[in-house]
Structure 1
């Protein structure tokens, strides 16, 4: 029997009157001393692994195996994602578990802004997570993902998961969406009717309303257009259902295209506007 094995046997045989943690501390102290001694002889890598394995086995025999995980700050992360990021824990003692490596793996998850992994003796890992807040859903082709306000992709998602988030679509739409979404928040009566916000040619936006109406916004300074659209929706809400397209790309004016572009359709729309405005005056 080697001297290392003899000493571990001796420590275990005389540990009945000591606490488990005190026993393991002795084992680790001995392991570090032995590792330091062999490092000068150029056998560091082999010796370090041998000592680590021996210390892990001693800790397991002392009942200090990782048995539980306590997670704090989890909202949108799935249990399976956290479990996979922590990595295998069977046969790993609380001291042998690499908390720094686990933290780095957690931080690779899109929803994780910051993470901490700590040991709670005798057998629990405490995981504290600060999640990034989803700001919108971004549709790109047939895929949809949650993004934060800076446009960072957090995870694949669906409208069912986040029914109250606005949907932006198109290549390159994620990063610049914040400005328009905040502008829409200032006109809540309109924001509630926007079904999708579409990036056009990487330079401007179209709004698609719940009636199917497409609203073409200018490339910059779209606040006046939103104000005009909000006024139209407030004064003549039914008119939105008759319009196929509103174009605000030319400053200080707009054009519209009706769903029924025939003469009959135009007359019907003008008549509806006239009747509606007259009825409002009588109220």
Structure 2
């Protein structure tokens, strides 16, 4: 009967046969880990620092091998070249607008580009600087036009004067900038001639005098810069008008007014000295001087 009681007592106990419940309190190690995880620096180190360090270490180990570096460089160059040589990036020809045939040929010789070529291989800024360095070019713009055309738009300097400078003849524009060299005066008979040191620096004043001298027509031969200070206007028949350093156009207008009123330039005169506009001086030709002397001798008799 004793074993039966023991069996009943065990069956009536609700906790009989179950394992003991686990203590819910965290362990000391787990507690410290959670405390560290709540620290921003520690959390950033685990999330960013360590992965970054591992990636950099792996990359450094990989790139430490020269073979790997060469393979990557070759692959990058291959990809880059495949993009640069796509049809939409290829330049097939050069078009030049605004240039005379001579300047057109000079530009093509200056820029010996072999077409077709990738637009990535063209240094447009350097090419534009080379073309702009030509004396005849006032402005230039180079760009790639749709359709694979390298468009070069130029504006040439317009020659306004022929400048005789010592042993050469230069074409200069209205600002005095050199345009080109000519071998002979007859190459540009349509342009007025200026001569003398520094004449190119006063080209605007020279053009003003030439415009003022339009009533003289074909009699005007040119202007000579004297001492880099003033102008002498040279006419045909060996005549010259010596102009002052200041207000030369006004002095020339006085001479033209006298010529219109008294046919001054039709007389036997070699020089009209206007260096002092308030006191013009005339220099007679040798035959006129001889005739004047003869008349004076007759008067004295």
The TM-score bracket by the shorter chain reads 0.5 to 0.7
Q: Distance in 2 between matches of 1:266 and 1:239?
A: 18
Secondary structure at 1:89 match in 2:
coil
Superposed CA RMSD in Å reads 3.7
Matches within 5 A, 1:100-179: 100-157=125-182, 159-179=185-205
1:126 shift after superposition: 1.4
Count the aligned residue pairs: 222
1:108 shift after superposition: 0.4
The aligned residue for residue 195 of structure 1 is 221
Q: What CA deviation, in whole Å up to 9, does each residue of 1:210-242 have, x standing for no partner?
A: 222121111112233211221344345584473
Q: What CA deviation, in whole Å up to 9, does each residue of 1:162-221 have, x standing for no partner?
A: 433322111111112312421441342136432111110111111111222121111112
Conserved? CA contact 2:93–2:116, under 8 Å = no
Conserved? CA contact 2:92–2:116, under 8 Å = no
Secondary structure at 1:74 match in 2:
coil
Q: Distance in 2 between matches of 1:268 and 1:128?
A: 69
Conserved? CA contact 1:166–1:195, under 8 Å = yes
Decide whether aligned partners of structure 1 residues 136 and 239 sit closer, same or farther in structure 2, where only a CA change above 3 A counts. Answer: closer
Q: What CA deviation, in whole Å up to 9, does each residue of 1:132-189 have, x standing for no partner?
A: 3333221101211122222222222364454333221111111123124214413421
Conserved? CA contact 2:212–2:253, under 8 Å = no
Conserved? CA contact 1:66–1:90, under 8 Å = no
> Is 1:228 aligned with 2:264?
no
Conserved? CA contact 1:248–1:255, under 8 Å = yes
Q: Distance in 2 between matches of 1:169 and 1:140?
A: 6
> Is 1:93 aligned with 2:117?
yes
Matches within 5 A, 1:35-46: none
- In structure 2, stretches of 5+ residues that fail to align are 1-62, 296-301
Decide whether aligned partners of structure 1 residues 211 and 233 sit closer, same or farther in structure 2, where only a CA change above 3 A counts. Answer: farther
Alignment counterpart, residue 237 of structure 2, candidates 211, 215, 218: 211
- More displaced 10-residue stretch of structure 1: 69-78 or 249-258: 69-78
Q: Distance in 2 between matches of 1:189 and 1:137?
A: 21
Secondary structure at 1:127 match in 2:
strand
1:68 shift after superposition: 3.4
Conserved? CA contact 2:135–2:179, under 8 Å = yes
- In structure 1, stretches of 5+ residues that fail to align are 1-37, 270-283
1:93 shift after superposition: 0.5
Alignment counterpart, residue 70 of structure 1, candidates 73, 95, 98: 95
Conserved? CA contact 1:225–1:248, under 8 Å = yes
